[in-house]
Amino acid sequence: MELNREYISITTVQEHHARPMQSYRVLGRRIAIFRDEHGAYYAIETNCKHQGADLLTGEVRDHIATCPRHQWQYDLRSGICLNHESPRLRRYTVIVAGNVLKMAVVPSDDELDS
């Protein structure tokens, strides 16, 4: 991984295409990067806001993740919990620079307080 002031290089587009959703440890955080059906990339934290379970060890269908412990569900595009009052999962902007997927180092502005 290569860090600059705003974005960190995560992987190549080709490597990521092998599996549409993959998780990475980025600056000490577990982050999932996935591509939706329209080809848009998303980066989002993967620890459940309830008790911290790894959402990627539960069921992920389309863009909905169900926590393996108590079945809280999250929309991975928005980070919103669908069946409980909860802070959002933190999201990070993803850019494609040539052949490389890069993720913003800080969460999107609307997640900074969650």
For ligand FES, the binding residues (CB under 6 A) are 48, 50-51, 53, 67, 69-70, 72
Whole-angstrom distance, CA of residue 113 vs CA of residue 48: 16
Q: Which is nearer to ligand FES, 8 or 65 (CB)?
A: 65
Measured from the CB of residue 46, what is the shortest distance to ligand FES in angstroms?
11
- Cβ at position 2, least distance to ligand FES in Å: 33
Length of the chain: 114
Q: Which is nearer to ligand FES, 48 or 101 (CB)?
A: 48
Q: 10 CB contacts (<8 Å, ≥6 apart)? A: 1, 16, 24, 26, 33, 43, 100, 101, 102, 103
